[in-house]
């Protein structure tokens, strides 16, 4: 299964500006797992797991504690996952993984908006998460013209989001 977020709502915060706080719902596949809240005030990310069934686990320091099954599944899923930060490889924890999901959600929302009025492509050698846009409607004719002009296109992003051709 893979994790995703839905119902993202952002708001202002003292620490991070116009979109520094947020709330969203975390899903594992189609199952709702938790509600996530970031106040944007420098405090910890708050995760409220759904479900009453608890499991006893032993931490890496030898302490015993109770966690919900949803929390345990997320801990195990995130374990060993990495991300790049300032040229270094870092290991994810739950907050960093959830912040990554929020960033991905926000980028996808922005790209979907671009797809309504522009042609959006990804090209060979482009960084992950980088897109090129053309000020033209996505039509079969424009797609063919662009394919003749550029040989490095690896994806027409408009097709991924199902933006119909005019």
The DSSP string of 39-84 is -SSSSPPEEEE--S-EEEEE-TTS-EEEEEHHHHHHHHHHTT-EEE
Mean pLDDT across the stretch 39-63?
A: 82
> Residue 164 pLDDT more than 60?
no
Secondary structure (3-state) at 137: coil
Q: Binning pLDDT at 50, 70 and 90, where does residue 1 land?
A: low
User: Residue 47: CA atoms inside 13 Å, Cβ hemisphere, count?
Assistant: 23
What does the pLDDT read at residue 51? 77
Span 110-132, pLDDT tens digits: 999 999 999 999 999 888 788 99
In whole angstroms, give the CA distance from residue 85 to residue 91: 10
Q: What whole-number distance in Å separates Cα of residue 52 and Cα of residue 69? A: 9
Q: Residue 31: helix, strand or coil by DSSP? A: strand
């Amino acid at each position: 299964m893979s994790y995703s977020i839905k119902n993202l709502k952002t708001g202002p915060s003292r620490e991070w500006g116009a979109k520094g706080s947020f709330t969203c719902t975390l899903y594992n596949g189609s199952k709702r797992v938790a509600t996530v809240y970031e106040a944007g005030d420098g405090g910890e990310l708050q995760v409220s797991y759904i479900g009453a069934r608890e499991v006893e686990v032993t931490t890496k320091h030898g302490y015993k504690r109770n966690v919900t099954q949803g929390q345990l599944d997320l801990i195990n899923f995130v374990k060993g996952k990495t991300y790049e930060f300032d040229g270094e490889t870092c290991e994810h924890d739950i907050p960093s993984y959830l912040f990554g999901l929020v960033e991905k959600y926000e980028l996808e929302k922005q790209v979907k908006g671009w797809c309504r009025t522009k042609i959006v492509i990804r090209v060979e050698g482009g960084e992950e998460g980088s897109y090129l846009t053309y000020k033209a409607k996505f039509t079969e004719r424009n797609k063919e013209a662009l394919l003749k002009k550029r040989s490095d296109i690896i994806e027409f992003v408009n097709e991924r989001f199902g933006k119909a051709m005019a």
